[in-house]
Amino acid sequence: MKKNKNLLKFMSAIVTTVGLISATSISASASTRLYTFDVLSDTHVKSGDTNANTRLSTALNCIKSNFDDKCIVINGDVVDDYYQYSTLDSVIRNANSGSEKLPYIYFNFGNHEFRAAASNSSQSEWYKWSLNEFATKTNAIQASLSHDSDVTNNSRSSDSSYDWQYVKNNVFFFLGTDRLEYDQQNDCADLNRNYQLSHLDNKLNSSGWKFVFCHQPPHGVIHGADWRNSICERAYNDPNGEYFQSLISKHNNTIMFTSHMHNNFNTYGLDDNCNSNFHQLGGSSVFGTSSVLEASQGLHVVVYDDKVTVKAVQYNSDNDYDVIESKTISLK
C-alpha cells in the first residue's frame, strides 16, 4: 500500500511538472498587447454641415467610451476647406468635455486642406499659406488635448509637408503633398523622393512596427485609386508613384493607412485584392479608411509585440459600435 502511495505521488509530480512546463511554454508564446489607436479619415468638418460634424462627434465619443487608445489619427480631409478650423476645434472640444477625455489626436492633411471651398480644386498659389494654416491651427487644437509619456507631441513645422511622431517607440510617419502645380487638375499627393521620401526610407529601416499615413493611396492598390487621386511624383515624371511603391514594399512590418476614396467598409472590405480596402505591397500592408463624412466608420488598431490586428468599425452611437471585419498582420 505504501509503495502504491509513493508511486501515486511520483506520477502526480510528473503530471504537475509537465503541466508547469506546458503552461510556461504557452505563456512564453502568448502575444503581449502593447496599445491601441484608431484611424479616421475624410471627416470634412464644415460650419453648418450637421451630418459631417455629428458623425465625427459620434466617432470620437464612441472611441473614448469604448477604447483605451493611445491616440487617434485623422488622416486627411480633416476639414472641408481651409476656413473651417474653428469648427473643427469646436467639435473636438465638445467631444473632449465631461469626465472622460479623448486620447491625443494626430492630424494629417489631404487635398481639402488646400482648398478655399470644397467645390474648388486645390489652389497652388495658396499652397504655402494653407500649409502654414493647417500646422498652426492643428497644433493649437493638440495643445488642448492630454497625452501620456508614450505619445510624442512635437509641434508640426509650419512649412513642413510631412511629420513623424512616436507611440511607444513605434514611428508614426505622416506624408503629405510637397507641392501643387498650376496645371494640376487632379487630387494626387506629389511626394518628392529627395525630401520626405528619403526621411521615410530612413525611418522605416528599423526593427519593430512602423505606421505610415498618407491621405492619397498608392496607385492601383486601394479600390478606385487611379492616376487622378493617388500618390505621384511629377518632378521625375512618375505619375503612378512607382518609386514610392518600390520604396515601401521593401520594408517589412510596415502598415500604411490611406483614405481619400470614401470606400465604405460594408461595400469594400479588407480582402487581399485591389478591389477592396486592403492590399499587401511587398513587405508592407496597406489599409484604406472609410469616410466619416458618409458613414461613421474607422479602423481600430490593436498592436501586439508579434502582430497587429486592424478592425473595420462602425461607430453606431456615443457608446455602441460594431466590428464589420478584421485582418491580422504578423511580425516578420
The Cα 75–Cα 95 span in angstroms is 18
CATH number 3.40.50.300 given to 35-330: no
C-alpha cell at 312: 473595420
Residue 75, pLDDT above cutoff 80: yes
C-alpha cell at 178: 510637397
The Cα 54–Cα 73 span in angstroms is 18
Note whether 67 and 320 are within 8 A (CB). no
The pLDDT, as a whole number, for residue 212 is 98
pLDDT bracket for residue 29 (50, 70, 90)? low
Please state, for a pLDDT cut of 90, what percent of the chain lies above it. Answer: 78
Per domain, the residue ranges of the chain are: 1-30, 35-330
pLDDT in tens, 81-136: 999 999 999 999 999 998 899 999 999 989 999 888 877 777 777 888 999 999 99
